[in-house]
Amino acid sequence: MSLETEVEVLRRVPLFRGIEETKLRLLAFISDRMQYRDGERLCTQGEEGDCAFILLSGVADVLVKTPDGERKVAEVGEHSIVGEIAILCDVPRTATLIASGELDVLTVNKDDFLKLLKEFPDMSLEVMRTLALRLEATTQALAAARSANGDE
Amino acid sequence: MQKSLFSFIWQFSARQQIFILCVTVFSYPITYILLELPKLIVNDAVQGDGFPRSFFGFEFDQIAYLFVLCISFLGLVVVSNGLKLFINIYKGRLGERMLRRLRFELFQRVLRFRLTHFRKVSSGEIIPMITSEVEDVGGFIGEAFALPAYQGGLLVVQLGFIFMQDPLLGLAAVSSYPIQGYIIPKLQRKVVILARKRVKNVRVIADKVGESINGIPEIHANDTAAWHSADVSDRLYENFKIRYQIFNWKYFIKFLNNFMNQLTPFFFYLIGGYLVIEGDLSIGALLAVIAAYKDLAGPWKELLAYYQMTADVGVKYQTVVENFDPADIYPVERLTSDEKVALDGDLKLSNVSFSGGVAGQEVFDVSLSIPMGQSCAVVGPDGSGRAEVLQLAAGLLSPVSGKVEIGGQDLDKLAAASLGREIAYVGGAVHIWTGTIRDNLYYGLRHRPVVPLERDGDSLKAFNRRLKEAEETRNPTYDVEAVWEDFEAAGVSDMDKLDRHALELLKAVGLESDIYRLGLQSRFDPKMDDDFAERILGVRKQLAHRIAEDKNLAGLVELWDSAQFNTSATLAENLFFAVPADPEITMDQMPDLPEVKAFLKVTGFGEKLQDIGVKIAETMVELFANISGDSGLLGTYSFITQEDLPEFERIVRIAKSNSQRPGLSEADRARLIGLAFKLVPAKHRLGVMSDDLKEEIIEARAKFQDMVVAKNDSFVAIDPEVYLPPLTIEDNLLFGRARVDRRDARRRIDEVIRSVVEETGLREPIIFAGFGYHVGVAGSRLSASQRRRLALVRALLKNAKVTILDDIAGGLTDEDKQARITLRKVLAGKSLIFGTTNPSIAGEFEHQVVLDQGRIVSNEHQDS
């Protein structure tokens, strides 16, 4: 797969939806393309995060530590971006990612992503907007959950 | 050392000087006849009469006479010029020999300086003295005696001629000499003083430049470049001023001299004319005198120039030599003596005092005794006299009063041959020599050549000549190419055993794994050791086997396969399936190699690569055009630097335009191809590599083998059965590339390599290969801690009876503690003096001496 196909995928990632194609190409170029085999770890909960993952193809399991060991809580599929929180603010990984089957991933280095944002402010705006939307959704979900709890 | 240049020249080359003088004098009549003969030919042979004439019983008619005279003229020309050639070469050789002797003497004197003397002199000053400042002396030596004798002789002859014509005119001719003889030296004196000043000023400049180089990080860190620039510029101005003054005086002297010389004819014409008119002198005699006087000017000018040169070179010599004659210089025998006195017995300092000239470098009335084979801690903070006491015990410093003895031998009276072999000393500041690790490890064993190098034929002849020259100039006759390592002293029988012994010690000080890593990164020549190359190939097979068996591993590497495209390697490696024999050749240089050029042309790959290059450049230009240079993105990811970007923009524009002109230049094409060569498809994913192209590349490999690899040595084929010298040992072990598109592939594959290397026992040979690692200028490619440990191993290898360590592994960490235990073990049965700032570890040693402000405050010993 070449840059062009990577750009196609990036375009479908919500975070990058409003961003020009040339910038996506640059993002794709500065990212590392990595392949993972079934069961290989992308990252581990609690460790320092230095990159975000964009899944080009395949599925990864999201695991969280519980007193009984790691437990699968979700799955992420094609065209999703994971670990982006870690590259925007310095927090440890909140979950573990394990490849489920063959996985093709674009790895964006934290420093490079920040440099890119600095270079293209409209890209920052887009990222901000997406994050704000996500926050809004989370807030609403929280409110819904609270009111649901209150109803009980 | 000889205080004046002339005594130096006379003492070491009197015989040669006399010879030069004799040849010069001998050549004088030949030159004279050579000048007279043409006149004789014209006047006597051509215009003369009374033929035939008889000489020595032979009769000559006019033609034969002319013929004989011309032949003798030709003969004299040959003899005269041959003599000149001979004497010039003789003088040049003598000058060079004397210069070599002088320079060596100066260098040897530097080696004889006491340590304390180096606080006063700097290398920046010493270096120009030995190298450039004495240079002129060499050119002068050949002329030193012959020139004044010859020219002086000419002058006297000419003067005699004038006096014979008329004493009065003779007096007139020399009338200006007393004045010139009085004034010119006076003026020259000023030049000499200025010349001294200039030499000293240049030394300061050299010193300042040297200091700036050594302290360059400080200059950048403190933004003091302006200050240093101003400082040096000021000195340069000073230099200009002095030189300008020198010019003024020098040319004024010349002017005065010329003026005086012209003044004399004035008197000739006046007095001579008067005498002729009065009838006291014939007109012929006056003309002859004036002609003779003109001939005087030549020698006189030469003599003056010689006088100025003597003054100049003499002052240079003096200004140099006076720096090499400190009062307390060691006697030369201390260096040259090869007599080793065994230092068996107790180390004893009796009432030793020492002063380094500054507070904190003093030792007062120290007495202590350390029995042979025991250990002693010398404790004291910096400035307590600890370092000085240790250096006194090592014989590096001499006490001002008192005595330092080992086994009853006064160290101050011993030669370096005893001190440097029987005592091992590692101080706080170690020096690592520019060279390999091996050079540095065995440095302490290189006292004298031990095993001479076997030579025959031309090399023997060359060597004998070298020896003869060395003897001629009183240089040492040691052979620098011989084996110098003193195996016996190290307690081993040959180099192999010495290597092994060194390895043990490296393990003991924890430097072994560092050297192993350096070994992996180093290149080695399989011609030196077939066996090792074989074993590396063995490991390569085993690794390949292991990778083939383990699916997980197989996914981490792409092994070289002549029928497969390796996406983790560069396009160049893929296309050639070979690597340049010279590892220094970069990708950018490759398209310009003639064999590569020819190959690209024949196969038509030149065009294809150029197209790929254009595509890459186009993408780079497009991606990075709007990126600011300081973002750093370009440098990390693109194969083009920010500075090159506009250049490639231009190349792309030309390549894309349909018009024929201006077209791509040869250099542009090479750049594009170089760009394509660097492409690593798995990493760069630019979509320029189609499957068809990959096929073509694989097919072209065979062609490259036939065309280039088989025919010349500039490329080495990638072949699983062959060791590839241009690659590092590590790259040779893993016959392939760690995949760039697998996370941590490099690290994981390294672990596997390490374990296979350990299993096959290849670790040791790789470490020995690491011995050949070049440590950079003064060990700059090693870390500070590596340098210290290397110096420690160097000292331990000496196997000396007394080992003195200052501030080495004196900490409380487990690592240091372990290091001390291993050191004690290695040095068991030998005397050890351990200098430390840390009182709490003193208890580990049998004796403890505590110093404070240069005095012993406690001296204890415990039975172990």
Model confidence at B181: pLDDT above 70: yes
What is the DSSP secondary structure assignment for residue B837, as one 8-state letter? S
Which pLDDT score is estimated for B149? 85
Mean pLDDT of B41-52: 82
Rounded to whole angstroms, how far apart are CA atoms B185 and B192?
10
Could you report the per-residue pLDDT of A70-94, keeping only the tens digit for each? 888 888 888 888 887 777 887 888 8
Comparing CB atoms, the residue among B619, B632, B684 nearest residue A115 is B632
Which of B197-211, B263-277, B454-468, B794-808 shows the lowest per-residue confidence on average (mean pLDDT)? B263-277
Could you report the per-residue pLDDT of B213-236, keeping only the tens digit for each? 989 999 999 999 999 999 999 999
- Model confidence at B662, in pLDDT bands (50, 70, 90)? low
Residues of B within 8 A of A20 (CB-CB) are: none
Residues of B within 8 A of A32 (CB-CB) are: 683, 740-741
Distance from CA of A126 to the nearest CA of B (A): 19
Q: Do A26 and B628 touch (CB under 8 A)?
A: no
Q: Do B637 and A116 touch (CB under 8 A)?
A: no
Rounded to whole angstroms, how far apart are CA atoms B580 and B590?
9
Residues of A within 8 A of B681 (CB-CB) are: none
DSSP sequence for B365-422? EEEEEE-TT-EEEEE--TTTTHHHHHHHHTTSS--SEEEEEETTEEGGGS-HHHHHHH
Q: Testing the interface with A: which of B634, B694, B743, B748 to mutate, by most A Cβ within 10 A?
A: B743
Which pLDDT score is estimated for B549? 87
Residues of A within 8 A of B631 (CB-CB) are: 115, 118-119
Residue B393, token pair as written in the block:
């015990």
Long-range pairs, B548-555, Cβ under 8 A, ≥24: B552/A37, B553/B748, B553/B749, B553/B752, B555/A35, B555/A37, B555/B739, B555/B742
Model confidence at B756: pLDDT above 60: yes
Work out the angle at residue B356's Cα, subtended by the Cα atoms of residues B351 and B357, and round it to the nearest 5 degrees.
115
Q: CATH fold of A3-151, please? A: Jelly Rolls (2.60.120)
Which pLDDT score is estimated for B272? 82
Residue B65, token pair as written in the block:
């006479």
Cβ within 8 Å of residue B630, ≥6 positions away:
none
Which pLDDT score is estimated for B636? 62
Task: Search chain B and give the residue with CA nearest A26.
Answer: B623
Please give the backbone phi and psi of residue A30, each rounded to the nearest 5 degrees, phi first.
Answer: -80, -5
Ordered by start, the domain boundaries in chain B are 5-199+249-324, 333-429+801-861, 523-560+725-771
Residues of B within 8 A of A43 (CB-CB) are: none
Taking each helix axis from N to C end, the angle separating B763-770 and B745-759, rounded to the nearest 10 degrees, works out to 110
Which pLDDT score is estimated for B390? 93
Distance from CA of B658 to the nearest CA of A (A): 25
Mean pLDDT of B174-182: 83
Within 13 Å, how many C-alpha atoms sit on residue B77's CB side?
Answer: 8
Model confidence at B165: pLDDT above 80: no
CA dihedral B125, B126, B132, B135 (to 10 degrees): 140
A78: left (phi over 0), alpha (psi -120 to 50) or beta: beta
Instruction: Specify which residues B377 forms β-bridges with.
Output: B834, B848
Percentage of chain A beyond pLDDT 70 is: 97
Outline where DSSP puts E strands in B578-693: 578-580
Which pLDDT score is estimated for B864? 46
* Cα end-to-end distance, chain A, whole Å: 52
Residues of A within 8 A of B555 (CB-CB) are: 35, 37
Neighbours of B527 (CB within 10 A): 9
Mean pLDDT of B5-21: 92
Residue B88, token pair as written in the block:
């010039």
Model confidence at B411: pLDDT above 60: yes
The residue behind tokens 């004279």 is: B32
Could you report the per-residue pLDDT of B610-629, keeping only the tens digit for each? 888 888 888 888 888 777 76
Q: Which amino acid is at B294?
A: K
Mean pLDDT of B665-680: 87
- Model confidence at A10, in pLDDT bands (50, 70, 90)? confident
Which pLDDT score is estimated for B241? 95
Mean pLDDT of B350-369: 87
A107 vs B296, which has greater pLDDT? A107
Q: Do B623 and A35 touch (CB under 8 A)?
A: no
Q: CATH fold of B5-199+249-324, please? A: ABC transporter transmembrane region fold (1.20.1560)
Residues of B with CB under 8 A from a CB of A: 552, 555, 619, 622-624, 626-628, 631-633, 636-637, 682-687, 740-743
Mean pLDDT of B584-599: 85
Residue B343, token pair as written in the block:
């230092």
Comparing CB atoms, the residue among A4, A40, A107 nearest residue B687 is A4
Which pLDDT score is estimated for B497? 92
Residues of B within 8 A of A106 (CB-CB) are: none
Task: Search chain B and give the residue with CA nearest A33.
Answer: B741
**For residue A68, with 0-12 CB atoms within 10 Å meaning exposed, 13-18 middle and 19 or more buried, which class applies?**
exposed
Q: What does chain A come to in residues?
A: 152
Residues of B within 8 A of A40 (CB-CB) are: 743
- Model confidence at B635, in pLDDT bands (50, 70, 90)? low
Q: Testing the interface with A: which of B685, B686, B689, B740 to mutate, by most A Cβ within 10 A?
A: B685
Q: Do A30 and B687 touch (CB under 8 A)?
A: no
The alpha carbon dihedral of B761, B765, B766, B768 has a sign of positive
Q: Do B623 and A29 touch (CB under 8 A)?
A: yes
CA dihedral B484, B489, B495, B501 (to 10 degrees): -140
**CB-based burial, B373-396: b 16+ in 10 Å, e otherwise:** bbbbbbbbeebbbbbbbbbbbbbb
Which pLDDT score is estimated for B527? 80
DSSP H or E segment with residue B447: strand B446-451
Q: Do A40 and B743 touch (CB under 8 A)?
A: yes
Residues of B within 8 A of A22 (CB-CB) are: 622-623
Q: Quick one: how far is CA A22 from the chain centroid?
A: 21
The alpha carbon dihedral of B533, B534, B538, B541 has a sign of positive
Distance from CA of A45 to the nearest CA of B (A): 17
Task: Search chain A and give the residue with CA nearest B623.
Answer: A26
Rounded to whole angstroms, how far apart are CA atoms B204 and B192?
19
Which pLDDT score is estimated for B660? 66
Distance from CA of A138 to the nearest CA of B (A): 33
Residues of A within 8 A of B694 (CB-CB) are: none
Task: Search chain B and give the residue with CA nearest A5.
Answer: B687
Q: What is the largest CA-CA distance in chain B?
A: 125
Instruction: Specify which residues B715 forms β-bridges with.
Output: B580
Distance from CA of B740 to the nearest CA of A (A): 8
User: Do B770 and B522 form a contact (C-beta atoms < 8 A)?
Assistant: yes
The residue behind tokens 């490991």 is: B539
Comparing CB atoms, the residue among A2, A29, A42 nearest residue B637 is A29
Rounded to whole angstroms, how far apart are CA atoms B442 and B772?
12
Could you report the per-residue pLDDT of A52-71, keeping only the tens digit for each? 888 888 999 999 888 888 88
Model confidence at A151: pLDDT above 70: no
Q: CATH fold of B333-429+801-861, please? A: Rossmann fold (3.40.50)
* Cα end-to-end distance, chain B, whole Å: 54
**CB-based burial, B415-434: b 16+ in 10 Å, e otherwise:** bbbbbbbbbbbbbeebebee
Comparing CB atoms, the residue among B622, B633, B740 nearest residue A112 is B633
Mean pLDDT of B398-408: 92
Instruction: Look at residues A36, A54, A50 and name the one whose alpha carbon lies nearest to residue A98.
Output: A36
Residues of A with CB under 8 A from a CB of B: 1-4, 6, 22, 25-26, 28-30, 32-37, 40, 42, 107, 112, 115-116, 118-119
Could you report the per-residue pLDDT of B677-704, keeping only the tens digit for each? 888 888 888 878 888 888 888 888 888 8
User: Do A78 and A57 form a contact (C-beta atoms < 8 A)?
Assistant: yes
Of B57-61, B144-148, B286-290, B399-403, highest mean pLDDT: B399-403
The mean pLDDT of chain B is 87
User: Do B375 and B383 form a contact (C-beta atoms < 8 A)?
Assistant: no
Distance from CA of B750 to the nearest CA of A (A): 18
Please give the backbone phi and psi of residue A50, each rounded to the nearest 5 degrees, phi first.
Answer: -120, 5
Rounded to whole angstroms, how far apart are CA atoms B698 and B562?
7
Of A119-128, B257-266, B411-420, B739-748, highest mean pLDDT: B411-420
Rounded to whole angstroms, how far apart are CA atoms B733 and B756?
10
- Give the ipTM of the model, two decimals please: 0.81
